[in-house]
């Protein structure tokens, strides 16, 4: 048996679901290379109808065009262009995949990768831990987040139980390493 390894599949989504993933990425990239949606679909083993539907569904969720089709004449000659929006999505998605691939190739070591998350929720509990407080926040998504804050921050922000809060986490990961160790038992 081969050794398990970390793998990933990235996509972009909204409340309505996935709006841009590997399938749309490969299709747009192939359109840029071949010049037509039909040839792009053929090269990826997709039917033209499926490819067209995938693009239209994505455009509807984004509210922007990804492709512009130019009809050919009686003897063909039509072509398809990727719009500026489509090109931006291609570039950004390629960057995302490149970063994650580099991380995986390097044995899960990250250096100076910045990330930011903004979450909303309500303070469920506050626990006094001498010099600081543990704040338990129930996020709108349903999960629980525990934060340790100084008492001064709590007083300045006037945070109390049931306060509605927005949490903005910004961090720079300087180093993460995956080690082959035994799991800790609690």
Can you tell me the distance from the alpha carbon of 58 to that of 66, in angstroms, rounded to the nearest whole number? Answer: 8
Residue entry with tokens 């001498």 = 130
pLDDT in tens, the chain (186 residues): 666 666 677 888 777 777 888 999 999 999 999 999 999 999 999 999 999 999 999 999 888 999 998 887 666 667 999 999 999 999 988 888 887 777 666 554 444 455 566 778 888 888 888 778 888 888 776 777 777 778 787 778 787 888 888 777 665 444 444 444 444 444
Can you tell me the distance from the alpha carbon of 168 to that of 173, in angstroms, rounded to the nearest whole number? Answer: 16
Residue 169: which of 186, 185, 146, 141 has the closest Cα?
Answer: 146
End-to-end CA distance of the chain: 30
Can you tell me the distance from the alpha carbon of 53 to that of 66, in angstroms, rounded to the nearest whole number? Answer: 12
- pLDDT digits over 90-130, tens only? 998 888 888 777 766 655 444 445 556 677 888 888 888 87
Q: What does each C-alpha distance from 157 to 116, 152, 165 come to in angstroms? A: 21, 9, 10
Give the predicted TM-score (pTM) of the model: 0.55
Q: What domains are there in the chain, each with its CATH number? A: 12-105 (1.10.10.10), 113-173 (2.40.50.100)
Computed from CA positions of residues 106, 110, 112, 118, in that sequence, does the dihedral angle turn out positive or negative?
positive
């Amino acid at each position: 048996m081969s050794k398990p390894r970390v793998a990933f599949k990235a996509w972009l989504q909204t409340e309505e679901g996935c709006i841009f993933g590997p399938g749309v990425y490969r299709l747009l990239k192939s359109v840029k290379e071949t010049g037509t949606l039909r040839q792009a679909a053929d090269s990826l083993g997709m039917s033209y109808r499926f490819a067209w539907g995938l693009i239209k569904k994505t455009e509807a969720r984004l509210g922007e065009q990804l492709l512009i089709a130019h009809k050919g004449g009686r003897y063909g000659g039509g072509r398809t262009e990727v719009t500026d929006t489509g090109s931006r999505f291609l570039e950004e998605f390629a960057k995302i995949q490149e970063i994650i691939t580099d991380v995986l190739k390097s044995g899960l070591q990250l250096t100076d990768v910045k990330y930011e998350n903004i979450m909303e929720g309500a303070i469920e509990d506050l626990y006094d831990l001498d010099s600081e407080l543990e704040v338990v926040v129930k996020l709108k998504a349903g999960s629980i987040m525990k934060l340790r804050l100084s008492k001064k921050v709590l007083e300045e922000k006037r945070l109390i139980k049931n306060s509605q809060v927005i949490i903005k986490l910004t961090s720079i990961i300087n180093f993460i390493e995956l080690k082959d160790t035994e799991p800790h038992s609690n």
